[in-house]
């Protein structure tokens, strides 16, 4: 049997120079030429001998059978995994690899051409690029995950020092994982942990995009400006100048407009009954808030846009004129009634603002005509500072003596400080925390009430004497509140609930308000500027640390880490403030809500809490 026809030719080593030149350059003719038949037969015999020699070399390699057919020869036989040739690889490895097949094929084929088509090459390159992209993305995600795990395990000394200063006078930071989870998420809209997708981005864009015809006339802007200013003045000191609405005031304004509530609490066919959940209201605030504002706040222009976004979120108001009409005919009158604002007050607000601007302009022009060039530069600096005070819409002006408040020499807390504490307490994160640990607060309330209350038919009440005893046992009196301030807090609850003694809701309200007033007035700058949720965590941490030992509190001087029986693990994890009816919230009256008839309210309370929570059995006990 004749040897196979080779595909590559190897010139013999003893060929003359002329033959080498002719093989390297076919266009150059040799000096002497043989006959055509002889010249065709001689290369075939030499190539056949070269292949037989190459095959013999291959079969003599270590690990190769002597009878190995040429089809078993592949390029990988001569190189390691790193692409480096073996030391014993023959110099004619390319000839061996080309036996009976072209180099571009790994299997036998009936095709005449061994090369791939252009389309197949393009598809292979695209697939290779896509695989490389996916591999790089996977590597980045794996690296970020490893970095995240490493950071979670590492101890941030600066953050630990920050929390130690924030939780003063507590001598330690609670080490429970549940507490750390609460501490790491400051706002309810960030608690979901959902990744931003294209659908959510388009939804955010739809909320913040104003439709055509959404502009307001001067009278409407005047009324809106009056509501905006009155809302922020309730939590601003007398003589203070406030230009931005904080997050807690934003939620209180929506409550005044009766726009906060669960998604299933209203008829979705009636636009005047519109309700938005707490989470959506917080998300809209985050989308519209001023950049780099600490704490987060809204200017007048961004507040008006956020209000329109709330109405646009339901899908019932699609056009700009419909939204503007609904604001001024349905929802804004509710806030006017709560704030005590009339149309005349709005007109006076705009007139006073325009007069103030006119006076400033006239005074500035007179000074510019009489001063030198250096003085004019100083005037421009002061003018720029005045302009930077206003919001982007030029919407609000500070007012020194526009509203009667507490006397200058009145004792603390003043009325605006009480309002500030109540608005911060009613943020959704604080309400979520209170309802998660509602059973623990009920157990604390029942522990003191059952000593003096033996009427099972009526609602248990805590008198001023018992409440003062509770504060002394917790060392809140006189550490966080003094006698005069405590009387002021009790009077606030008496005027709101219509009775001198405290029921459970009034008890929680009074306890939280005096702690928030302490942090806002006497706390450090870190405590004053902290988010409301961290202030509520401060209250819960103080309760956990200062509870009497018979209620599950720590013995005096015990700062050891608590196990699964600590207070932070005994909570209602299934509660969701966005799905809770407004009447079932502990601070329903604090937010300005009007209670329903007693029978309906009691029925809803039975649905909103566990029956076992109503019994005096203390969940603090181990």
> d(Cα 314, Cα 332) in Å, to the nearest integer?
17
pTM of the complete model: 0.65
pLDDT at 41: 57
> Is the peptide bond preceding residue 111 cis, with omega within 30 degrees of 0?
no
Cα 415 to its chain centre, rounded Å, is: 33
Going from N- to C-terminal start, the domains of the chain cover: 17-97, 200-361, 415-614
pLDDT at 425: 95
> d(Cα 38, Cα 36) in Å, to the nearest integer?
6
Kindly state the tokens that stand for 1: 């049997």
> d(Cα 607, Cα 605) in Å, to the nearest integer?
5
> d(Cα 265, Cα 332) in Å, to the nearest integer?
20
CB burial string 136-148: b at 16+ within 10 A, e below: eeeeeeeeeeeee
Cβ atoms of 620 and 443 within 8 Å: the answer is yes
> d(Cα 437, Cα 440) in Å, to the nearest integer?
5
pLDDT at 209: 65
- Can you give the C-alpha Rg of the chain in angstroms? 41
> d(Cα 532, Cα 424) in Å, to the nearest integer?
6
**Bridge-partner residues for 502, per DSSP?**
462
pLDDT tens-place string over residues 181-209: 888 888 887 775 444 444 555 566 666 66
Residue 488, classified by CB atoms within 10 Å of its CB into exposed (0-12), middle (13-18) or buried (19+), is buried
pLDDT at 163: 83
Going by the DSSP 8-state scheme, the letter that residue 70 receives in this structure is: G
pLDDT tens-place string over residues 584-613: 999 999 988 665 444 343 333 333 334 334
Query: Dmax over Cα atoms in the chain, in whole Å?
Result: 132
pLDDT at 61: 64
Provide the 3-class DSSP secondary structure of residue 556.
coil
Residues of the chain with pLDDT under 70: 1-44, 46-47, 50-51, 54, 57-59, 61-74, 95-115, 152-156, 192-214, 346, 350, 353-410, 451-457, 552-567, 593-622
Cβ atoms of 188 and 260 within 8 Å: the answer is no
Phi, psi for 26 (deg, rounded to 5)? -65, -25
Closest by Cα among 457, 552, 463 to 507 = 463
- Please identify which residue in the block is written with the tokens 């400080």: 417
DSSP 276-329: B-HHHHHHHHHHHSPTT-SS-EE-HHHHHHHHHHHHHTTSS--SHHHHHHHIII
């Amino acid at each position: 049997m004749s040897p196979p026809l080779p595909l590559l030719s190897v010139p013999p080593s003893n060929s003359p120079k002329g033959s080498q030149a002719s093989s390297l350059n076919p266009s150059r003719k040799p000096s002497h030429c043989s006959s055509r038949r002889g010249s065709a037969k001689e290369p075939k015999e030499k190539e056949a001998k070269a292949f037989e020699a190459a095959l013999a070399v291959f079969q003599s390699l270590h690990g190769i059978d002597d009878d190995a057919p040429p089809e078993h020869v592949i390029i990988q036989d001569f190189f390691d995994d790193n692409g480096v040739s073996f030391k014993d690889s023959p110099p004619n490895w390319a000839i061996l690899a080309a036996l009976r097949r072209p180099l571009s094929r790994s299997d036998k084929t009936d095709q005449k051409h061994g090369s791939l088509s252009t389309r197949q090459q393009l598809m292979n390159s695209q697939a290779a690029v896509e695989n490389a992209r996916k591999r790089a993305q996977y590597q980045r995600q794996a690296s970020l995950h490893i970095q995240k795990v490493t950071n979670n395990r590492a101890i941030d000394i600066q953050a630990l020092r920050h929390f130690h200063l924030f939780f003063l006078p507590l001598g330690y930071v609670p080490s429970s994982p549940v507490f750390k989870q609460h501490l790491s998420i400051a706002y309810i809209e960030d608690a979901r942990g959902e990744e931003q997708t294209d659908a959510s981005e388009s939804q955010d864009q739809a909320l913040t995009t104003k439709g055509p015809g959404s502009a307001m006339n001067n009278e409407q802007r005047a009324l809106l400006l009056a509501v905006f200013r009155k809302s922020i003045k309730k939590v601003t000191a007398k003589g203070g100048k406030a230009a931005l609405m904080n997050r807690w005031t934003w939620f209180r304004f929506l409550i005044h407009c009766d726009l906060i509530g669960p998604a299933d609490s209203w008829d979705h066919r009636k636009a005047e009954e519109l309700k938005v959940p707490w989470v959506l209201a917080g998300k809209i605030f985050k989308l519209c808030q001023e950049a780099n504002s600490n704490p987060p706040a809204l200017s007048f222009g961004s507040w008006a846009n956020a209000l329109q976004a709330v109405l646009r979120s339901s899908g019932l108001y699609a056009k700009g004129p419909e939204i503007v009409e609904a604001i001024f005919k349905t929802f804004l009158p509710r806030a006017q009634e709560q704030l005590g604002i009339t149309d005349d007050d709005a007109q006076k607000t705009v007139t006073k603002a325009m007069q103030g601007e006119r006076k400033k302009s006239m005074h500035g022009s007179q000074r510019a005509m009489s001063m030198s060039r250096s003085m004019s530069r100083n005037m421009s600096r002061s003018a720029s500072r005045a302009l930077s005070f206003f919001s982007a819409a030029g919407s609000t002006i500070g007012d020194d003596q526009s509203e009667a408040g507490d006397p200058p020499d009145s004792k603390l807390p003043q009325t605006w400080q009480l309002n500030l504490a109540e608005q911060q307490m009613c943020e959704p994160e604080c309400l979520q925390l209170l309802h998660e640990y509602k059973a623990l607060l009920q157990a604390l309330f029942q522990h003191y009430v059952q000593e003096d209350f033996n009427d099972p038919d009526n609602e248990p009440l805590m008198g001023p004497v018992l409440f003062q005893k509770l504060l002394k046992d917790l060392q809140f009196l006189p550490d966080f509140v003094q006698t005069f301030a405590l009387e002021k807090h009790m009077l606030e609850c008496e005027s709101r609930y219509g009775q001198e003694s405290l029921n459970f809701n009034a008890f929680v309200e009074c306890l939280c308000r005096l702690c928030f007033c302490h942090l806002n007035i006497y706390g450090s700058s870190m405590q004053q500027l902290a988010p409301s949720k961290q202030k509520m965590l401060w209250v819960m941490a103080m309760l956990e640390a200062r509870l009497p030992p018979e209620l599950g509190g720590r013995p005096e001087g015990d700062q050891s880490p608590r196990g699964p029986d600590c207070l932070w693990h005994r909570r209602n994890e299934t509660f969701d403030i966005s799905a809770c009816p407004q009447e079932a919230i502990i601070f329903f009256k604090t937010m300005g809500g009007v209670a329903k008839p007693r029978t309906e309210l009691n029925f809803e309370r039975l649905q909103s809490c566990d029956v076992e929570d109503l019994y005096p059995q203390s969940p603090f006990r181990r």
